[in-house]
Amino acid sequence: MRVVHYLNQFFGGIGAEEHAGAELEFRAGAVGPGKLLEELFGDGAQIILTIVCGDNHAVEHQEEIIAAVVEKLKNTPADLFVAGPCFDAGRYGMAAGALCNAVQSQLGIPAVSAMHEENPGVDLYREALYIVDSGASTLKMREVLARMASIGKKLVGKEEIGLPAAAGYLARGLLRDQLVKEKAATRLVNMLLTKLRNDKFTSEMAPTAFAPVPMPAAVKDVSKAKVMLITDGGLVPKGNPDRIQGTAATRWGAYNIQGRDDLCAADYEVSHGGYDTRFVQESPDRLVPLDALREMEKNGVIGKLHDEFLSTCGRSNPLSNTRRLGREMVEKIKREGVDAVILTST
Amino acid sequence: MVGSNRVVLGTGIVHVTGDAKLPMAEEKELRRKLVQQALDALQSSEKR
């Protein structure tokens, strides 16, 4: 097995923070923790190339670095890409995650990294990558490298990786079916009894943690702003042209309202299986307040109402999906110069 | 909505910016008020 290993300037032996500007370099063979990693892989596995870059340089020139590494690996016979472990070093984690993601998606070379759960690289890449849970302390280096080696070997051999807790990586937020012996009621009662005995139990539903969203700056003057309406209440034109699903929607649509003073019931329907939609169907302005905003546009209260409203259905949707929908909408919003959005949610 | 920094409380899940119980003119007035609150929130840096 031929492995390529990415390290920052510290683990690459260049130096500490004062060398964080160190430029990208390629070195033949294993370096620093790579030597132990090679030993843990066993079976004649070899680190054929080590890539080292300073943390600041990697983050400030991320696109260049990715392009250079991808170019280099096109001509390197690598079976696996390993980055880190990065522990709680944020810039290191972000660079490692970006490189693993690029190498994996652009070249089809499987990748594995390791980070502390709070490393910002985790939030960015946990869905795309196997990231070993390294904790914050470098004292666990050997154990962390062993888990990276184990997952790496499985990836190369296209073997089942196993569940996050068992294999020691951070949950990727993926759902999959599994056959189990006991039915839900039995498992639930057993879990409750375990809890009542004050013993340790593992829930089957991991609580979702939400990172705080920084507040966007206020709009200076809405009378000069272009305002857009968005809803997650599922209002769509008659016939639902984008086939937006009424539950766990994977799509959203943009619908023209140019020249309209309010939303006419005959032209719209609602694709949402989570609330009684009769009132909105009767009068869609009850969900997308076009009439009020059109008036305000005419009276100069707002600068301009955007010519389209966006719509999707916000019911029972996994976060990974809604994040993607949100990102796609934001691209459009930015491209079309919208200054402010009113999002109505049922 | 989790994580939202500017939230205006609508009239209800089934008619966020309206109220089916009101006569149409009053419902429109209610909608103007709600939208105005949203515009005020957009121009303010206070979390609500």
What does the CA dihedral A97, A123, A321, A217 come to, rounded to 10 degrees? -120
Q: How far apart are CA A257 and CA A243, in angstroms?
A: 19
A161, A167 Cβ separation under 8 angstroms: yes
Q: Which chain B residue lies closest to A212 (C-alpha atoms)?
A: B3
Q: pLDDT for A326-339, tens place per residue? A: 989 999 999 999 99
Check B14 against A282: CB less than 8 A apart.
no
Q: How many other CB atoms are found less than 10 A from the CB of residue A264?
A: 12
pLDDT, position A207:
66
- Which domains does chain A possess? 2-167 (3.40.50.2300), 222-344 (no CATH)
- Taking one residue from A and the other from B, the number of pairs with CB-CB distance under 8 angstroms is 94
- Chain B residues touching chain A at CB-CB below 8 Å: 1-6, 10, 13-18, 20, 27-28, 31-32, 34-36, 38-39, 42-45, 47
Question: How close are the terminal C-alpha atoms of chain A, in Å?
Answer: 53
pLDDT, position B1:
57
Q: How far apart are CA A160 and CA A251, in angstroms?
A: 31
pLDDT, position A45:
95
Which chain A residues touch B48 with a CB distance below 8 Å? none
| Local confidence pLDDT in tens for the 48 residues of chain B | 566 889 999 998 899 999 999 999 999 999 999 999 999 999 999 887
Q: How confident is the model at residue A182 (pLDDT cuts 50, 70, 90)?
A: very high
Q: How confident is the model at residue A209 (pLDDT cuts 50, 70, 90)?
A: low
Tell me, what's the ipTM? 0.96
Q: How confident is the model at residue A175 (pLDDT cuts 50, 70, 90)?
A: confident
Q: pLDDT for A240-262, tens place per residue? A: 999 999 998 999 999 999 999 99
pTM of this structure:
0.60
Mean per-residue pLDDT of chain A: 94
